[in-house]
Amino acid sequence: MCIFLSVLRLAPAALKLELEEKLFGQHLATEVILKALTGFKNNKNPKKPLTLSLHGWAGTGKNFVSQIVAEHLHSKGLRSNFVHLFVSTLHFPHEQQIKLYQDQLQGWIRGNVSTCASSVFIFDEMDKLHPGVIDAIKPFLDYYEQVDGVSYRKAIFIFLSNAGGDLITKIALDFWRAGRKREDIQLKDLEPVLSVGVFNNKHSGLWHSGLIDRNLIDYFIPFLPLEYRHVKMCVRAEMRARGSAIDEDIVTRVADEMTFFPKSEKIYSDKGCKTVQSRLDFH
């Protein structure tokens, strides 16, 4: 039932349209997510589950995109029984209980994939996850036909992390300082730096987990830091979502209240679009 639904549901053109309309300033993430999901969906016989690792500064759209993707795979999105969100600090808070978390996670994933092969698992705050927890799911992400009678090959795993955000920002800033357009940043400028940077980062959640050196992550997806103009776009989107008329004075006031870095140039919003909604309440 859920496989049938998910195959029917992923309409690449609709996903493309929604990402292009709603996700601001993330040309690379849009491109890679579309490519990854379309390729996976068109493959009748995937050799492993799809694993996406989303990286970037706070408030740049990682959770937002995961939500959109989830809705395109299972109609109820995050509320679907086939979409599961884990938040490190909420679900795996205590370092002493790693063994317990590993057992629970394995049982949970096994149970859910047995019920629905195309289950979606989202792990938020990977950079706050104790190294080792993710080891528990490594066998599920590998190229096995089955693990204990269950095939994981149609499942999708999405990891969200701030790890690598500094490397992405550095490259974006280099482009900006060289007078080059943000849209000219290509995946090849970022992907290698990112996979090595994340691999060597003790706090990435993937550190020494074997997921990277065994090539179990299919796509590293960079989220660029958001600029003033993107923050303004977020304010307008939020106004539209609230059914309000767009008031450019308020848009500017909200954007002006955000703080931008680096200190010298003040180009990127340090919270991305994250606090836009709450700030708008005051206007």
Ligand X SMILES: Nc1ncnc2c1ncn2[C@@H]1O[C@H](COP(=O)(O)OP(=O)(O)OP(=O)(O)O)[C@@H](O)[C@H]1O
Site of interaction with ligand X (CB under 6 A): 22-26, 56, 58-64, 160, 162, 226, 234, 272-274
**60 annotated ligand-binding residue:** yes
Residues 122/80, Cβ–Cβ less than 8 Å = no
152 or 159: whose CB is closer to ligand X?
Answer: 159
Is 51 in contact with 218 (CB distance < 8 Å)?
yes
Residue 15 CB, shortest distance to ligand X, in Å, is 15
Query: Is 162 labelled a binding residue?
Result: no
* C-alpha–C-alpha distance, residues 211 and 137, integer Å: 10
The answer to whether the annotation marks 164 as part of a ligand binding site is: no
> What is the 8-class DSSP label of residue 78?
G
Minimal distance, residue 162 CB to ligand X, in Å:
5
Q: Annotated binding residue at 57?
A: yes
Tell the smallest beta-carbon distance from residue 32 to ligand X (Å). 14
Nearer to ligand X (CB atom), residue 113 or residue 221: 221
Nearer to ligand X, 24 or 82 (CB): 24
- Is 201 within any annotated ligand binding site? no
Contacts 24+ apart (CB under 8 A), 44-47: 45/153, 46/153, 46/154, 47/143, 47/153
User: Among residues 37 and 117, whose Cβ is nearest to ligand X?
Assistant: 37
- DSSP annotation of 245 reads P
62 is in an annotated binding site: yes
Residue with structure tokens 């379309």?
38
- Displacement of CA 202 from its chain's centroid (Å): 19
CB of 139 to ligand X, least distance (A): 28
Nearest Cα residue to 119 out of 160, 68, 156, 151? 156
Taking the least distance from each CB to ligand X, the nearer of 50 and 158 is: 158
Give the shortest CB-114-to-ligand X separation in angstroms.
30
CA dist., res. 83 & res. 119, Å (int): 6
Annotated binding-site members: 56-63
Annotated binding-site members for ATP: 56-63
